[in-house]
Structure 1
Amino acid sequence: MPLLARRADITTLAVDAVVTAANAGLRGGGGVDGAVHRAAGPELLAACRAIGGCRTGDAVVTPGFRLQARWVIHAVGPVWRGGGAGEPALLASAYRAALARLREVGGRSIAFPAISTGVYGYPPDLAAPLAIAIVREALAAHGPLDVIFVCFDAATLALYDKELSE
């Protein structure tokens, strides 16, 4: 299963690491980040507070606590401001950083949400091809991993399926 997309609850997946679309303060919140924090338990927020924060385009790792995943990788994507404020480069950097953190902890499988496409407003039709291209590039450069793109809804899944089939 090197690269696939599926509609699922990212908090239930048995992978080495789940990625959460984090805010720079690593405080939890809504969407996938809130779901991951609720499922992992209060220890996750305590671990995040100990780290202190993460800049946009980067990622940090914590234990998964009560999740099936051993690790949570907190990737901070950009807020969409129309595309002219460096958003594509920052989103690409967040995906690269998440994969780098996975390799640093010795993981071999990872589940990504559609980073920045929720409350941060990044258009899913622009984010999906970028995410897949960056992950393919990283796998070609650094070796294979099992990667699942976890989609919140059918429309997002269709975007990822289309990109993966090309």
Structure 2
Amino acid sequence: MTMLGGPSGVATRAIHQEEILKRRIASKIGLCYFDITSLHVDAIVNPSNSNLQPGGGANGQIHRAAGPMLFQECQTLKGCVSGEAKVTKGYLLPAKYVIHTVGPHNQEKHILASCYQNSLKRCETHLLRTVAFPCISTGAFGFDHEEAANIALSTVRAYLMTDIALGKNSLDTIVFCVYSERDKAIYEELLPIYFPGFSRLDSTLSVHK
């Protein structure tokens, strides 16, 4: 008989704790196919440009839904460099805040990862517990869709693992909001790989009201 305190017992407990951690992290992840401007979350992430001006795609959509006061506040922020993130109020949006980040123009993986990292850091510093991400840089900036998804998911997973390991538990829900059938298929394939225990049934419908 193997003693619980022996090597096998320690290994079993470690495996059990790892499984609990994985499921805990997976429970924080959501996937939705709704218009990001309709989500009732603490913050939505806006894939913006260095001048923080209204543009095309999700950026223009967010500005139109939030109203002109969003751009007025953006003008006070003096722009944003690639990979960084800045926060404004959400104004007419259901979301309380908008986190503006600027993705890479030339497929720089580290800059795209920084967009997700810095957006999550802004959530932490502003005590925002629920956030929704679009597919950053896959529109006009032309980042490969599958590679962008891998970067997004690996970066968010690493952030959550560190956050929980440090005892912070600073985020409740992170939603990946996809628009196209292509991105939907990519995320549905990759999410269970990066977040074992994730289920399509867990896609965070409660944030859409």
Task: Tell me which interval the TM-score lies in, with the shorter structure as reference length.
Answer: over 0.9
The 8 Å contact of residues 139 and 145 in structure 1, kept in 2 or not, is answered as no
1:138 maps to: 159
The gaps in structure 1 that reach 5 residues or longer are none
SS for the counterpart of 1:114 is: coil
Structure-2-length-normalised TM-score: 0.75
- Within the candidate set 74, 78, 94, 1:48 is matched to 74
SS for the counterpart of 1:147 is: strand
- Say which is worse superposed, 137-146 or 121-130, in terms of deviation: 137-146
- Within the candidate set 145, 149, 153, 1:124 is matched to 145
Q: Does 1:92 align with 2:113?
A: yes
Compare the two structures and name the one with the higher helix fraction: 2
Alpha-carbon separation, structure 2, partners of 1:130 and 1:162: 14
Larger Cα-atom Rg: 2
- Within the candidate set 150, 173, 189, 1:162 is matched to 189
Q: Deviations over 1:23-49 (max 9, x none)?
A: 010001000000000000000000000
SS for the counterpart of 1:148 is: strand
* Pairwise CA distance, 1:157: 1.0
Counterpart mapping for 1:15-54 below 5 A:
15-54=41-80
1:114 maps to: 135
* Pairwise CA distance, 1:145: 2.9
Q: Deviations over 1:36-64 (max 9, x none)?
A: 00000000000000001000000000000
* Pairwise CA distance, 1:118: 0.2
SS for the counterpart of 1:152 is: coil
Q: Deviations over 1:91-138 (max 9, x none)?
A: 000100000111111100000000000000001110001101100111
Identity of aligned residues (%): 39
The gaps in structure 2 that reach 5 residues or longer are 1-26, 164-168, 194-209
Kindly report structure 1 stretches of 4+ aligned residues shifted beyond 4 Å.
none
1:101 maps to: 122
| Structure 1 vs Structure 2 CA RMSD | 0.9
SS for the counterpart of 1:78 is: coil
SS for the counterpart of 2:147 is: helix
The 8 Å contact of residues 7 and 154 in structure 1, kept in 2 or not, is answered as no
Count, aligned residues = 161
In structure 2, give the amino acid aligned to 1:135.
V
Alpha-carbon separation, structure 2, partners of 1:135 and 1:95: 7
